[in-house]
């Protein structure tokens, strides 16, 4: 086994080295080999972390690393200022200044630097961090592998004269290192540093295509996340001013934070919510859709947004039982509902995926806010399942884009005939997002079963669930609208596409069927890192049982709920997989669809005789309800309500602080 400092180096620094190599070596195959090797190294390393268990780490040359972090911090912020000035984007400039000035004042004026240097340990690798590291290393690496070929086709399609794929892969691989650093960081200045690095990489990746839209959206992502950075710095300043420790384990050490410290905790959660694109900050993530699809896959599944929910989840003990906790649950639940509703009205596939991500992150944050052991378990399981499923869906979206060269849902009609392989994989991804027996539904089920303490959140979940069914089913439905023909030819795709896709499909079934092992081996410990009291979930026979924990059921001794995992997978196999494989049909049994007897020809055409015997194509269109559920109709309401919720969230923290003073 590797020594621990080497494992840390592989997790954080190896991606940096690999990224630089990828940038220098511009040969397609060599570059691909480096990415694949780095991916394998990261995956193995993350498993080593799992085997090693909980530990802490402080680098040997602490002073040198502190210096490196400080210098890079200011370089990044200066770069933001440069971006703001050169793009004439004043918001970027303002929020860069609101970071660099307080930071410099805090570190050198108030003497925060000495306090930060004293923080020990620098990194805390507990089980929650290990879960995140596994998600980042495995799902993130697969996405990077996918990107090798994707960028080749992407640039081929754009007819670029000079390849910029090296630059793209540089930022992609670097992202993994920054995320690993972020989830391990305990010292707040390290957390801030990695936070800023992810923001920077996000900016670079969104702007990659250098169209006006790409640059505008990248700038928006930058200034919105800079607000988060500012909040993080203010939190540090308040913590320092109140004499509290400047580390995550310091904040969490005393259980529920004292009323005075509730405000910095709220600010840190606010930072996380911006990164997790909670309403009203969802527009940066929607804008990020202009980037090449591997970027979206990376941002949505394993990195960036997951950093946001990770921070909120990590801080859960600090606000347990407070009104802040209720407000965080409501912000999340409202986002879950509003984003699910808005997703119905979206006509672009990637925007549906984006809203679905925002919705599910809302659900995870709501679980953190509900703050019972069961809810925290649900949140951590959702992080894992969502990463795998959403990674798969985005990679599918990317592959589809390279087959039909469109992102519009209406253009995906009948893809089951054009691209049966991708359709099957996409269908598995979609079904795994909202239906039993897959993990996402298990998480939603647990969230609902735990939401009794905050009924309003439960009602929002319920409405969101119904909307979720509609937008997924109607999208998948468009794929299936095929002519009555047999023997669709399976499309040939590069291995760089299919290997990550199949591995993620395997992952969906693996973590789904083995959820009991995932829970006992991984999540249980991670939950114990967040909440100490009580075992919410028990593995019983072939299922999971929710133990009574609430006031209602503590009097009687019975289970709250039961989720038979394996029987449900058997049902799924009987219901979907076996018919899919075995339902056979003879060519002679096919008939054209009913078009009032006016179909023009047999099974090979979808035309019919219109007025004056003109052959006309059958045209079908999905329901989108732009008038009722469109962004133009809903956004005034969602923005108002979500801003009100955020304001109340801060008011609650401020009131607690005021009361304590």
Partner 1 sequence: MNAWIIAIVTVIVAPFIGGFLAGIDRRITARLQGRFGPPILQPFYDFFKLLGKSKIAASRLQLMWIYAYLVLMITALLFLVLRLDILLMMFILGFAGVCFALGGFSSKSPYSHLGANRELMQMLAYEPVLLLLALGVYAQNGSFLISQIYASPTPLISRLWPIFIALLVILTIKLRKSPFDLATSHHAHQELIKGIMTEYSGPYYALIELTEWYEIVLLLGIVSLFVANPLWVGIVIALAAYLLELFVDNVTARMTVGWMVRFVWAVGITLCILNLIWFWVFAAIKGVS
Partner 2 sequence: MGIIATSRLKSPWIMHFDNSSCNGCDIEVLACLTPLYDIERFGIVNMGNPKHTDVLVVTGPVNRRTARVLKNLYDQIADPKMVIAVGTCSISGGVFHNCYNVLGGVDKVIPVDVYIPGCAARPEAIIDGVVMALQKLAKLQGVAL
Q: Is 556 in the site for partner 1 (CB under 8 A)?
A: yes
In this chain, which stretch among 101-109, 267-275, 394-402, 449-457 interacts with partner 1, using CB under 8 A? 449-457
Q: Which of partner 1, partner 2, none does residue 441 bind to, with CB < 5 to 8 Å depending on kind?
A: partner 1
Tokens at 345, concatenated: 């009205």
Q: Which of partner 2, partner 1, none does residue 467 bind to, with CB < 5 to 8 Å depending on kind?
A: partner 1
CB of 488 to partner 2, least distance (A): 23
**Using CB under 8 A, which residues numbered 639 to 658 contact partner 1?**
none
Q: Which of partner 2, partner 1, none does residue 111 bind to, with CB < 5 to 8 Å depending on kind?
A: none
Q: Measured from the CB atom, is 554 or 611 closer to partner 2?
A: 611
In this chain, which stretch among 365-373, 398-406, 468-476, 503-511 interacts with partner 1, using CB under 8 A? 468-476
Question: In Å, what is the CA distance from 507 to each residue of 131, 139, 386, 500, 522?
Answer: 15, 9, 11, 10, 15
Q: Is 598 in the site for partner 2 (CB under 8 A)?
A: yes
Q: Is 588 in the site for partner 2 (CB under 8 A)?
A: no
Q: Is 210 in the site for partner 1 (CB under 8 A)?
A: no
In this chain, which stretch among 34-42, 172-180, 319-327, 592-600 interacts with partner 2, using CB under 8 A? 592-600
DSSP-assigned beta bridge partners for residue 617: 607
Q: Measured from the CB atom, is 50 or 590 closer to partner 1?
A: 590
Assess contact for 394 and 300: CB atoms under 8 A: yes
Query: How many whole angstroms separate alpha carbon 434 and alpha carbon 249?
Result: 35
Q: Is 481 in the site for partner 1 (CB under 8 A)?
A: yes
Identified binder of partner 1 from the candidate list 23, 57, 74, 445, rule CB under 8 A: 445
Q: Is 441 in the site for partner 1 (CB under 8 A)?
A: yes
CB of 587 to partner 2, least distance (A): 15
Q: Is 414 in the site for partner 1 (CB under 8 A)?
A: yes
Q: Measured from the CB atom, is 160 or 473 closer to partner 1?
A: 473
Question: In Å, what is the CA distance from 660 to each residue of 252, 259, 260, 262, 269?
Answer: 19, 6, 6, 10, 21
CB of 444 to partner 1, least distance (A): 8
CB of 509 to partner 1, least distance (A): 17
Query: How many whole angstroms separate alpha carbon 41 and alpha carbon 622?
Result: 45
Tokens at 533, concatenated: 């009291």
Q: Measured from the CB atom, is 61 or 619 closer to partner 1?
A: 619
Counting every residue, how long is the chain?
A: 661
Q: Measured from the CB atom, is 567 or 658 closer to partner 1?
A: 567
In this chain, which stretch among 45-53, 255-263, 587-595, 647-655 interacts with partner 1, using CB under 8 A? 587-595
Assess contact for 50 and 134: CB atoms under 8 A: yes
CB of 597 to partner 2, least distance (A): 4
Question: In Å, what is the CA distance from 325 to each residue of 71, 93, 370, 451?
Answer: 36, 33, 7, 13
Omega cis (within 30) before 280: yes
Question: In Å, what is the CA distance from 475 to each residue of 19, 95, 427, 616?
Answer: 36, 38, 10, 25
Count of alpha carbons within 13 angstroms of residue 480, beta-carbon side: 10
Q: How many angstroms from the chain centroid is the CA of residue 446?
A: 19
Helices 188-206 and 62-86, axial angle in degrees (round to 10) = 40
Query: How many whole angstroms separate alpha carbon 377 and alpha carbon 371?
Result: 10
Q: Measured from the CB atom, is 521 or 602 closer to partner 2?
A: 602
Assess contact for 386 and 440: CB atoms under 8 A: yes
DSSP state of 577: I
CB of 256 to partner 1, least distance (A): 20
Q: Measured from the CB atom, is 132 or 546 closer to partner 1?
A: 546
In this chain, which stretch among 18-26, 379-387, 509-517, 585-593 interacts with partner 1, using CB under 8 A? 585-593
Give residues with Cβ within 8 angstroms of 104, minimum separation 6: 74
CB of 585 to partner 1, least distance (A): 5
In this chain, which stretch among 111-119, 223-231, 441-449, 512-520 interacts with partner 1, using CB under 8 A? 441-449
Please identify which residue in the block is written with the tokens 């990489």: 201
Question: In Å, what is the CA distance from 41 to each residue of 15, 304, 391, 493?
Answer: 10, 21, 20, 26
DSSP state of 548: P
Q: Is 594 in the site for partner 2 (CB under 8 A)?
A: yes
Query: How many whole angstroms separate alpha carbon 133 and alpha carbon 140?
Result: 10
Omega cis (within 30) before 252: no
Query: How many whole angstroms separate alpha carbon 340 and alpha carbon 444?
Result: 14
Identified binder of partner 1 from the candidate list 33, 37, 104, 595, rule CB under 8 A: 595
Q: Is 585 in the site for partner 1 (CB under 8 A)?
A: yes
Instruction: Give the interface size with partner 2 as a residue count (CB under 8 A).
Output: 8
Q: Which of partner 2, partner 1, none does residue 597 bind to, with CB < 5 to 8 Å depending on kind?
A: partner 2
Q: Is 599 in the site for partner 2 (CB under 8 A)?
A: yes
In this chain, which stretch among 341-349, 367-375, 518-526, 597-605 interacts with partner 2, using CB under 8 A? 597-605
Q: Is 110 in the site for partner 1 (CB under 8 A)?
A: no
CA angle 197–398–638, rounded 5-degree value: 65
Query: How many whole angstroms separate alpha carbon 205 and alpha carbon 214?
Result: 9
Question: In Å, what is the CA distance from 654 to each residue of 253, 267, 324?
Answer: 22, 11, 10
Q: Measured from the CB atom, is 588 or 627 closer to partner 2?
A: 588
Q: Is 622 in the site for partner 1 (CB under 8 A)?
A: yes
Query: How many whole angstroms separate alpha carbon 526 and alpha carbon 125?
Result: 11
Q: Which of partner 1, partner 2, none does residue 36 bind to, with CB < 5 to 8 Å depending on kind?
A: none
Identified binder of partner 1 from the candidate list 17, 81, 259, 482, rule CB under 8 A: 482
Q: Which of partner 2, partner 1, none does residue 552 bind to, with CB < 5 to 8 Å depending on kind?
A: partner 1
Question: In Å, what is the CA distance from 70 to each residue of 108, 116, 462?
Answer: 11, 11, 46
Interface residues with partner 2 (CB under 8 A)? 591-592, 594, 596-599, 609
Binding stretches for partner 1 (CB under 8 A): 414, 416, 435-436, 441, 445, 448-449, 452, 455, 458-459, 462-463, 465-467, 469-470, 473-474, 476-478, 480-484, 486, 546, 548, 550, 552-553, 556, 558-564, 568, 571, 574-576, 578-580, 583-585, 589-595, 606, 618, 620, 622-623
């Amino acid at each position: 086994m590797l020594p621990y400092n080497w494992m840390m180096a592989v997790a954080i620094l190896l991606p940096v080295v690999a990224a630089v190599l990828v940038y220098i070596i511009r040969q397609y195959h060599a570059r691909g080999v480096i990415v694949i090797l780095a991916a394998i190294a990261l995956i193995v390393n993350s498993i080593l972390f799992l085997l090693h268990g909980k530990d802490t780490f402080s680098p040997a040359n602490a002073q040198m690393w502190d210096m490196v972090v400080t210098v890079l911090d200011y370089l990044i912020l200066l770069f933001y200022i440069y971006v703001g000035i050169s793009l004439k984007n004043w918001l970027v400039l303002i929020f860069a200044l609101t970071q660099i000035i307080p930071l410099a004042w805090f570190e050198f004026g108030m003497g925060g630097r000495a306090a930060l240097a004293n923080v020990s340990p620098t990194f805390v690798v507990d089980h929650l961090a290990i879960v995140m590291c596994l998600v980042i290393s495995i799902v993130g690496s697969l996405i990077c592998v996918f990107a090798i070929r994707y960028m080749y086709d992407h640039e081929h399609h754009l007819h670029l004269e000079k390849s910029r794929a090296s630059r793209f892969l540089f930022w992609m691989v670097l992202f993994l290192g920054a995320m690993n650093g972020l989830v391990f960081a305990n010292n707040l200045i390290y957390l801030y540093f990695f936070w800023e690095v992810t923001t920077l990489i996000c900016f670079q990746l969104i702007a990659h295509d250098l169209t006006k839209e790409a640059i505008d959206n990248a700038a928006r992502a930058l200034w919105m996340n800079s607000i988060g950075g500012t909040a993080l710095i203010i939190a540090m300043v308040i913590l320092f001013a109140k004499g509290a420790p400047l580390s995550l384990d310091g904040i969490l050490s005393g259980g529920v934070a004292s009323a005075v410290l509730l405000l910095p905790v709220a600010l840190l959660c606010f930072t996380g919510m911006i990164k997790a694109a909670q309403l009203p900050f969802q527009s940066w993530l929607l804008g990020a859709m202009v980037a090449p699809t591997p970027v979206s896959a990376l941002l949505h599944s394993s990195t960036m947004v997951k950093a946001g929910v990770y921070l909120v989840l990590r801080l859960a003990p600090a606000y347990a039982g407070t009104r802040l906790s209720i407000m965080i649950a409501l912000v999340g639940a409202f986002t879950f509902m509003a984003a699910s509703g808005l997703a119905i009205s979206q006509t672009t596939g990637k925007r549906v995926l984006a809203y679905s991500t925002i919705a599910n992150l809302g659900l995870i944050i709501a679980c953190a806010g509900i703050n019972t052991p069961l809810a925290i378990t649900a949140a951590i399981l959702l992080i894992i399942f969502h990463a795998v499923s959403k990674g798969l869906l985005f990679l599918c979206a990317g592959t589809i884009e390279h087959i039909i060269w469109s992102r519009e849902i209406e253009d995906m009609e009948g893809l089951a005939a054009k691209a049966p392989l991708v359709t099957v994989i996409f269908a598995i991804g979609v079904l795994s997002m909202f239906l039993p027996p897959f993990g996402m539904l298990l998480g939603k089920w647990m969230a609902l079963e735990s939401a009794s303490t905050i009924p309003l959140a439960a009602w929002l979940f319920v409405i969101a669930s119904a909307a979720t069914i509609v937008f997924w089913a109607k999208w998948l439905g468009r794929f299936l609208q095929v002519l009555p023909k047999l023997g669709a030819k399976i499309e040939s795709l590069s291995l760089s596409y299919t290997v990550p896709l199949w591995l993620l499909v395997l992952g969906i079934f693996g973590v789904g069927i083995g959820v009991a092992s995932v829970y006992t081996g991984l999540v249980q410990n991670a939950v114990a890192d967040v909440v100490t009291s009580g075992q919410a979930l028990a593995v019983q026979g072939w299922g999971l049982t929710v133990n009574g924990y609430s006031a209602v059921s503590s009097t009687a001794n019975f289970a709250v709920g039961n989720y038979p995992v394996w029987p449900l997978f058997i049902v799924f196999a009987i219901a979907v997989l076996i018919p899919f494989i075995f339902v056979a049909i003879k060519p002679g049994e096919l008939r054209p669809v009913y078009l009032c007897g006016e179909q023009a020809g047999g099974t090979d055409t979808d035309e019919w005789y219109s007025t004056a015997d003109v052959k006309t194509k059958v045209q079908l269109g999905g329901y989108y309800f732009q008038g009722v559920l469109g962004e133009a109709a809903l956004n005034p309401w969602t923005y108002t309500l979500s801003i009100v919720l955020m304001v109340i969230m801060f008011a609650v923290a401020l009131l607690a602080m005021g009361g304590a003073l």
